[in-house]
Structure 1
């Protein structure tokens, strides 16, 4: 399992958990003693879901892709530093 797969699975889990929690709020009665705890936990889950969306659709994903592209670019040789061909 590579890094992108793990990231996508975690993102999907957070999004699914948030949607499931919202559905549970509408379908199940909340005991008054647990109301504050549930609101707090839903706020935390909402924040995690927002971070996942911001990363995948924001500039962080593009920046990570650019960094990976720059790390994999061919380098020149000491004799010919501008060459981009890989020597065999």
Structure 2
């Protein structure tokens, strides 16, 4: 397994966790005393997903295009 494949697997894992977390909120009742903790954790998880998207479709994608020239 090369470095690029590893990055891809980690990216899919981070996005998968973010999506499953959001979907899980529709089916799981969260106690009022834990609501703030869940909001903070979910914000972090969604942030990871956003970082993955930014990395793959931001500067990294542009860098790959420049390398091919």
TM range (shorter): 0.7 to 0.9
> For the residues of structure 2 that align with 1:4 and 1:48, how far apart are their CA atoms?
18
> For the residues of structure 2 that align with 1:14 and 1:60, how far apart are their CA atoms?
17
Name segments (4+ residues, structure 1) moved above 3 Å: none
Structure-1 residue corresponding to 2:32: 32
Cα displacement (A) at 1:33:
1.3
Q: Report the TM-score, using the length of structure 2 for normalisation.
A: 0.86
> For the residues of structure 2 that align with 1:62 and 1:3, how far apart are their CA atoms?
18
Q: How many residues align?
A: 68
C-alpha RMSD of the superposition: 1.6
RCO greater where, 1 or 2, for CA within 8 Å and sep 6 or more? 2
> CA deviation digits over 1:63-87, x for unaligned, max 9?
2x346x6xxxxxxxxxxxxxxxxxx
Which has a greater percent of helix? 2
Unaligned runs of 5+ in 2: none
> CA deviation digits over 1:27-50, x for unaligned, max 9?
110011111111101100111100
Unaligned runs of 5+ in 1: 70-88
Question: How do 1:1-88 and structure 2 match up within 5 A?
Answer: 1-63=1-63, 65=64, 66=66
Q: Which has the larger radius of gyration?
A: 1
